[in-house]
């Protein structure tokens, strides 16, 4: 979230960001409200100074036992005027705040300008697209035939877009989670955390989900809690309202959590099988870094996520998202998409985002380079490392055989305990 001074001095840049990200925020009232507020504050300051001066005169007149009724009456009027102006300032600040919290982050200059996801730019590919001498099956057929996924059971106990993994399917989920966490902890240097799956409203605001995405979230009205849409939310806010030491940065956290999303309006698009779920598992990576290192950290974060797919030997591509496809809070984002031959599509398994200081301002996460130096906001980054449902889709569909079995990727065999799913 940007402060009033920044918005005032960079209004054209802010307006451009709103347009490029296709955000629905009306900036037309910002300048008149901001000018009125500043004018009122100056007038109130002058009136309060005048009141203080006259109050001293009144005290001196009373001390000398001279009449001060006229000045006292004037001060009552001044006091009422100050109160009314203070109330108007408070009202204006509420209106300005409502504008502030809806202004998106500004895209980094390296983000391609575009009007839809069609303008995302592919920057690399890894791995070979597999070829089959048979018609590859989609994951929902493989999952049900091998008794790995119980779609009917998930729908029975919860409803549409919920699934139940069973037998080796359930163990595959657990194996992937452990494999990813071990990689990020032991090789990439992250500290594992296991955060709450319910968070308060301020926590959702801190990472930028609120107010924009409230309709997409599962809300527990009685306590005003939200089920987390991603581990990014609680993990980033673990350091909310803290002042960190510069020498302690960077800080890397990784976490497994289930994720919950209503995804209002998403129905009818890639919804079959595991393609789109209201509850799914994900391993997340979160970084808190010095501002001058954040884009180098962004590239290394991308590599950390890519290595999961490389070790699983799954073909993927990386996209630099255009302005129109960039999230509300991100300054830049790479999407990693894995190839799924059964559905014949590239499927997103990770979004790797740099938020610069946008989230840190909302969550009040600051650092001091050295004792006595000014406070600065950290830069925050996160990436899925990875989201499980579509990773499972890719494993089942890329590693299937003409016998209807699925070969287990070598990297998972010690976690799963078998070489073939049959």
Q: What is the DSSP string of 217-242?
A: S-EETTTTEEE-SSTHHHHHHTTTTE
CA–CA–CA angle 175, 179, 183 (5° rounding): 175
pLDDT tier, 69 (very low <50, low <70, confident <90, very high otherwise): confident
What integer is the mean pLDDT of 85-94? 97
CATH 1.10.287.40, domain 4-100, yes or no: yes
pTM: 0.93
Is pLDDT at 266 greater than 70 in this prediction? no
pLDDT tier, 323 (very low <50, low <70, confident <90, very high otherwise): very high
Do 117-421 and 4-100 fall under one CATH topology? no
What integer is the mean pLDDT of 213-235? 97
pLDDT in tens, 144-171: 999 999 999 999 999 999 999 999 999 9
CA–CA–CA angle 41, 42, 47 (5° rounding): 95
3-class DSSP state for residue 407?
A: strand
Q: Who contacts 106 (Cβ-Cβ below 8 Å, separation ≥6)? A: 13, 14, 17, 331
With tokens 């009136």, the residue in question is 47
Is pLDDT at 265 greater than 70 in this prediction? no
Given this model, what pLDDT does residue 236 score? 98
Q: What DSSP string describes 244-296?
A: EEGGG--EEEEEEEEEE---TT-TTSS-STTSS-SEEEEEEEEEEE-GGGHHH
What integer is the mean pLDDT of 294-316? 98
- So where are the chain's domains? 4-100, 117-421
How do beta strands 365-368 and 242-245 pair? parallel
- Angle, helices 69-100 vs 30-63, to 10°: value is 160
Given this model, what pLDDT does residue 271 score? 78
With tokens 């402060």, the residue in question is 3
Is pLDDT at 263 greater than 80 in this prediction? no
Cross-strand pairs, 407: 420
Is pLDDT at 20 greater than 90 in this prediction? yes
pLDDT tier, 422 (very low <50, low <70, confident <90, very high otherwise): very high
What positions carry a catalytic annotation? 261, 276, 348, 351, 390
Is pLDDT at 190 greater than 70 in this prediction? yes
Is pLDDT at 362 greater than 60 in this prediction? yes
Given this model, what pLDDT does residue 269 score? 58
CA–CA–CA angle 382, 301, 236 (5° rounding): 25
Its sign, for the CA torsion 145, 179, 382, 210, is positive
Percentage of the chain surpassing pLDDT 90? 93
pLDDT in tens, 108-156: 999 999 999 999 999 999 999 999 999 999 999 999 999 999 999 999 9
The domain covering 117-421 belongs, at the CATH homologous superfamily level, to: Bira Bifunctional Protein; Domain 2 (3.30.930.10)
How high does pLDDT run on average in the chain? 96
DSSP symbol at 379? E
Distinct helix (H) and strand (E) counts, the chain = 13, 18
pLDDT tier, 186 (very low <50, low <70, confident <90, very high otherwise): very high
CA–CA–CA angle 217, 219, 224 (5° rounding): 130
Is pLDDT at 347 greater than 80 in this prediction? yes
Given this model, what pLDDT does residue 152 score? 96
């Amino acid at each position: 979230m940007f402060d009033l001074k920044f918005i005032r001095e960079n209004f054209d840049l802010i307006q451009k960001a709103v347009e490029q990200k296709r955000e629905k925020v009306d900036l037309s009232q910002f300048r008149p409200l901001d000018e009125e507020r500043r004018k009122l504050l100056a007038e109130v300051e002058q009136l309060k100074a005048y009141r203080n001066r006259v109050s001293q005169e009144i005290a001196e007149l009373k001390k000398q036992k001279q009449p001060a009724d006229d000045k006292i009456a004037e001060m009552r009027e001044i006091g009422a005027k100050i109160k009314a102006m203070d109330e108007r300032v408070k009202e204006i600040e509420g209106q300005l705040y409502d504008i502030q919290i809806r202004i998106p982050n500004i895209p980094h200059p390296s983000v391609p300008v575009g009007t839809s996801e069609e303008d995302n730019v592919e920057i690399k590919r890894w791995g070979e697209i597999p070829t089959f001498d048979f018609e590859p099956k989609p994951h929902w057929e493989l999952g049900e035939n091998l008794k790995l996924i119980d779609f009917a059971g998930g729908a029975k106990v919860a409803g549409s877009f919920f699934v139940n993994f069973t037998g080796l399917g359930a163990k595959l989920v657990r194996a992937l989670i452990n494999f990813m966490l071990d990689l990020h902890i032991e090789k990439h240097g992250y500290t594992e955390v296991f955060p709450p799956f319910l968070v308060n409203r301020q926590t959702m605001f801190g990472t930028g989900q609120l107010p924009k995405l409230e309709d997409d979230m599962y809300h527990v009205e009685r306590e005003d809690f939200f089920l987390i849409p991603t581990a990014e939310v609680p993990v980033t806010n673990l350091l909310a309202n803290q002042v960190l030491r510069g020498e302690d940065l960077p800080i890397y956290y990784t976490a497994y959590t289930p994720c919950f999303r209503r995804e209002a309006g998403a129905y009818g698009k890639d919804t079959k099988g595991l393609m789109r779920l209201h509850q799914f598992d994900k391993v997340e990576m979160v970084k808190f870094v010095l501002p001058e290192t954040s884009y180098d950290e962004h590239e290394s974060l991308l590599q950390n996520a890519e290595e999961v797919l490389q070790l699983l030997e799954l073909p993927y591509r990386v996209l630099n998202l255009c302005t129109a496809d960039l999230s509300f809070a991100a300054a830049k984002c790479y999407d990693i998409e894995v190839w799924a031959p059964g559905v014949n599509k590239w499927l997103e398994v990770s979004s790797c985002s740099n938020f610069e200081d946008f989230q840190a301002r909302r969550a009040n996460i600051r650092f001091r380079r050295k004792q006595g130096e000014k406070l600065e906001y950290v830069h925050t980054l996160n990436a899925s490392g990875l989201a499980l449902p579509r990773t499972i889709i890719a494993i089942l569909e890329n590693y299937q055989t003409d016998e209807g079995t699925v070969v287990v990727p070598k990297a998972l065999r010690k976690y799963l305990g078998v070489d073939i799913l049959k």
